[in-house]
Amino acid sequence: MSKAKTGNKRSALSEVVTREHTIHLHKSVFGATFKKRTPRAVKAIREFAQKTMGTKDVRIDSQLNKALWSRGVKAVPHRIRVRLSRRRNDNEDAAEKLYTYVTYVPVADFKGLQTQTVDE
């Protein structure tokens, strides 16, 4: 299929948005060496944020890092709820115009949760 209109693209700059996602970490760390499980989970979160929000620059909050490392290097949580917010880069000489800030959202149960857009 070919696109009839090419001028209908949305600018990523105008889309400063915040969403909540549940990331299934067990898929990415299953079968990994014990000493590499949590570092691989951090990389999986970065990769998920890059793919979902479309930015190369991904910054992880310290509370999310603590939540990942809370059970040690071996016992990574199977799932984790995160808030991805695409923000403007205030730095003048930055290579990217936008960056993604990933924060931890504590939840009691993951049943029935879906992706939600958050109004700030």
The model's pTM: 0.85
CA dist 14 → 11, 58, 88, 90 (Å): 6, 18, 9, 15
pLDDT band with cut points at 50, 70 and 90 for residue 40: very high
The answer to whether 50 touches 56, Cβ cutoff 8 Å, is yes
- Using CA atoms, how far apart are residues 120 and 117, in angstroms rounded to an integer? 10
SS3 content of the chain, % helix, strand, coil (to 5): 25, 25, 50
Note the pLDDT of residue 29.
96
Check the CA dihedral 12-17-21-26 and report its sign. Answer: positive
